[in-house]
A and B are shown apart, each in its own frame.
Chain A
Amino acid sequence: MDSTITIEALLGIGMLLTALYLQAESFLDPMVRAVAVQSLLLAGLLLWLAYVDRDVDLVIVAALVVALRVAVIPYILQRQIRAFHWRAREVRAAHRVAGHALAAVALAIVAWFIFQETLAPALPDLPGIALPFVLLAEGLLLLATRTNTLAQVIGYIEEENAVVYAGVLFVAAFPLLIEMVVFLDVLGVILVAVILSFQRTVIGIPEEELMEELSG
């Protein structure tokens, strides 16, 4: 294994580790930071590939990732956590660290087998090509197991990270397009979040119980 692949592999496995951490973490604040770290690793991977392939597009994508997912989104999410006084802790998840961590690992293995059976034959045989798919599955698991909306948004960002990661690994020319689409996607989510926050500060939430229901 040469050093190019070592660096790619380390960044990829690092992203997977943050995914594992996200599964096991029951507080929202560290989750936001963890997903920012994951995005930072993704940006690092993009920059590294930009350097290896001498591709300026990837630098732009990396800059977008850093601006949007390392800076803006975590900032907004953290503001939301404070503004909404949402449960900072997912109480129900608090006692299940072991279960969540092991479920994440089990899912990673299952996802890898599924990838090998379905997508792998159609894709180039690169080391770590299954990682984006595994990351996507981990994001899905986070969405499925958490009841807190903000935690689910974090799961969503993780999935988007996986999509960009897949774009850069599967087809080299793809990621700028994907990142643009994802950018709009995430912008939509943020708009909704900001409007909700605005509604709360200006008119309050008469249907608070209803909101609680929506959030959990």
Chain B
Amino acid sequence: MDLSAAAVVVLQAGAVLLLAPLFAGIAARWKAWTESRTGPPVLQPYHDLVKYLRKEVVLPTGASRVFIAAPTVAFAAYVVISVVLPIATPYPIEVASLVDFLGGALLFGLAAVVTLLAAIDSGSNFPALGASRAVSFAALAEPTLIIVFFGVAVISGTNNPYVTNNVLASSLNAYLSPTHLLVMAAFFLLLLFETGKLPVESSGLGEFGMLDEGRTFEHSGRLLGLFRWNGWLKQFLLYAVFLNVFALPWGMLSQPTVAAAGFNLIVLAAKMLLLVVVLVFLEATLAKIRLFKIRDYLAVSFSLAILALFAFAVLGGA
């Protein structure tokens, strides 16, 4: 690996790690505007993070090493994912050949599983309740994710996000094919579910419908800080996949230089701001659906994903 390629890898990982809280802050601020509030400063997530990292860690009685290690393991998984996706480059960077789409999904799965184990390991009722709830719905979301990968695979003939990006960016017909549009729609519904957005989950504090936040109730100090960071990373990475692979694959420079990668990151940031606007709009207009209706929501996303494959078959490879 030459110096420039290594620099691109470091740039991409660093950008993901450092920018992830920023977009959470921007989203919170803009959402506050839609509610006629001033809202927290854009940099609030960074302040929160620093505060968490300084605070004392309190462990529940009987918590084992799983409880302590979980945030770090999940964090490591997200760091790996951050260097295998087309975030700063439309060509695979040096370490990108570690995993394909499915491998990326497994890493997301690993992060989710250790978070769940930590919740159960806390020995407390509330995180365990959150964990069981999260799993009941995640189990319904997983088939959609797999079918979405099949959809991607039939569009591009591979299971590689970079190839998908290139195929979609270079062919308008591939972009406008029903298979791709349906896969994109299914993935968008999944994205809202996975990042805990309305209509699935409202981001208020400690309400009973929450799926994600409940799991980390017993964690404190830097462990909680890491979990928060993980949440932002997951959100950033899913946004990046949605934007750079599915929705807006255009506008990336393919020169293997640090400057081009930096430009691509700025383009991605612009796309992400657009996505944040859309999400804030959705959050401002949609009401939260009842807990048991989440099943219906996921069934719809699953139906769309299946229809994507169906469209591919019926239209004879379109």
Chain A residues engaging chain B, CB cutoff 8 angstroms: 1-3, 5-6, 9-10, 12-13, 16-17, 20, 24, 97-99, 101-102, 104-105, 108-109, 112, 125, 127-128, 130-131, 134
Contacts and interface: CB of A to CB of B under 8 A. Distances in A.
A101 B182 contact: no
Given A1-B177, A9-B311, A9-B315, 9 more contacts: A9-B178, A10-B178, A97-B299, A101-B299, A109-B306, A112-B314, A127-B318, A128-B314, A131-B314
A128 B313 CA distance: 9
A23 B79 CA distance: 43
Contacts of A24: 296, 300
Nearest to B298: A98
B307 A17 contact: yes
A184 B83 CA distance: 63
B310 A108 contact: yes
Which 10 residue pairs spanning A and B have beta carbons closest together?
Answer: A98-B299, A97-B296, A13-B178, A127-B315, A127-B316, A101-B303, A98-B296, A105-B303, A1-B318, A9-B315
B197 interface: no
B176 interface: yes
Given A24-B300, A102-B302, A128 B315 contact: yes
Interface of B: 172-173, 176-178, 181-182, 293, 295-296, 298-300, 302-303, 306-307, 310-311, 313-318
B54 to A, nearest CB: 46
A16 B300 contact: no
30 contacts: A1-B318, A3-B173, A6-B173, A6-B176, A9-B177, A9-B178, A9-B318, A10-B176, A12-B178, A13-B311, A16-B307, A17-B307, A20-B303, A24-B296, A97-B299, A101-B299, A102-B302, A104-B303, A105-B307, A108-B307, A108-B310, A109-B306, A109-B310, A112-B310, A125-B316, A127-B315, A127-B316, A130-B314, A131-B314, A134-B314
